[in-house]
Amino acid sequence: MAMTATADHVHADPHHIGRVIEHPGPAPKRIVTAYGFWIFLLSDIVMFSCFFAAYAVLSGQTAGGPRGSEIFEQRNVAIETVCLLLSSFTCGMASIAADVRNRFWFYLGMAVTCVLGLIFLAIEFREFADLVARGYGPSRSAFLTAFFSLVGCHGLHVSAGILWLLTMMAQVFAKGFRADILRRMMCFALFWHALDIIWVAVFSVVYLLGSAP
């Protein structure tokens, strides 16, 4: 009887607004670390929003150079997008494997994530090199400056993510699934998924909206 009354009370006030709770102490380190990293990710997204704003303003300023619809290849962008989506999935599998301390599935998930990330970077690098070779480098027009800085900034984040991924595999190899290694793995997974969210905005705003005639 007393138990059901308590349960009802907790459900009626899930955020504990109406009472003072005796806190057991500071939050566990895992929560503090991941929350701090979440704040960093949000500030990174705010930085990307400045690049998006610049692209939105400058996308029409082609200075006699090519427009977006003349240089974007949707097939390449579709392959890049599928690579990043699948790598986000395999990264999730690797973090589950790390939580249950299964080395084989952890290494397999991280290796597949790494390969998919490298395929993404190779396609993007080839696209950039092709544009520069045709004389459409970042100095050609304000539109191309905004395009290269926005997409290139995301590419740099992916490159940094792959380096971090390799160091995570090395740390698990050398030190095993210690608590601090698992915290770093959780931050890495957050970083990789956040990159995927930014890529959704990039392919929608830059490539699909930008290739409209």
Partner 1 sequence: MSDETHLTAHHDLAPGEEEQHSVGERILGYVVGLGLALLLTATSFFIAGTDLVWQPSIPVALIVLAIAQMGVHLVFFLHITTGPDNTNNVLALAFGLLIVFLVVGGTVWIMSHLNANMPPMDQIMRMQ
Size, binding site for partner 1 by CB under 8 A: 60
Please list the alpha-helical segments (H only) found in the chain. Answer: 2-12, 29-58, 68-71, 74-99, 103-133, 142-175, 179-202
CB 193, CB 94: distance < 8 Å: no
The CA distance from 146 to 138, in Å, is: 8
- Which is closer to partner 1, CB of 16 or CB of 174? 16
Nearer CB in complex with partner 1: 160/209: 209
Q: Are residues 104 and 169 in contact, defined by beta-carbon separation less than 8 angstroms?
A: no
CA angle centred on 171, ends 166 and 177, rounded to 5°: 125
Q: Which is nearer to partner 1, 86 or 132 (CB)?
A: 86
Query: Of 143-162, which residues contact partner 1 (CB under 8 A)?
Result: none
Q: How far is the CB of 64 from partner 1 (least distance, A)?
A: 13
If you ran DSSP here, which 8-state letter would residue 89 be given? H
Buried (b) or exposed (e) across 52-66, using 16+ Cβ within 10 A? beebeebbeebeeeb
Residues numbered 34 to 73 that lie near partner 1 (CB under 8 A) are 34-35, 37-39, 42-43, 45-46, 49-50, 52-54, 56-57
Report yes or no: 180 and 26 within 8 Å, Cβ to Cβ: no
Instruction: Give me the least distance between CB of 18 and partner 1, in Å please.
Output: 12
Asked if 171 and 29 touch (Cβ cutoff 8 Å), the reply is: no
Considering the complex, state which of residue 18 and residue 133 has its C-beta at the smaller distance from partner 1.
18
Binding marks (x or -) toward partner 1, 69..108, rule CB under 8 A? -----x---x--xx--xx-xx--xx--x---x--------
Q: Which two tokens stand for residue 167?
A: 């160091």
Q: Which residues bind partner 1 (CB under 8 A)?
A: 2-3, 6, 9-10, 14-16, 21-22, 24, 27-28, 30-31, 33-35, 37-39, 42-43, 45-46, 49-50, 52-54, 56-57, 74, 78, 81-82, 85-86, 88-89, 92-93, 96, 100, 186, 189-190, 193-194, 196-197, 200-201, 203-205, 208-209, 211-212
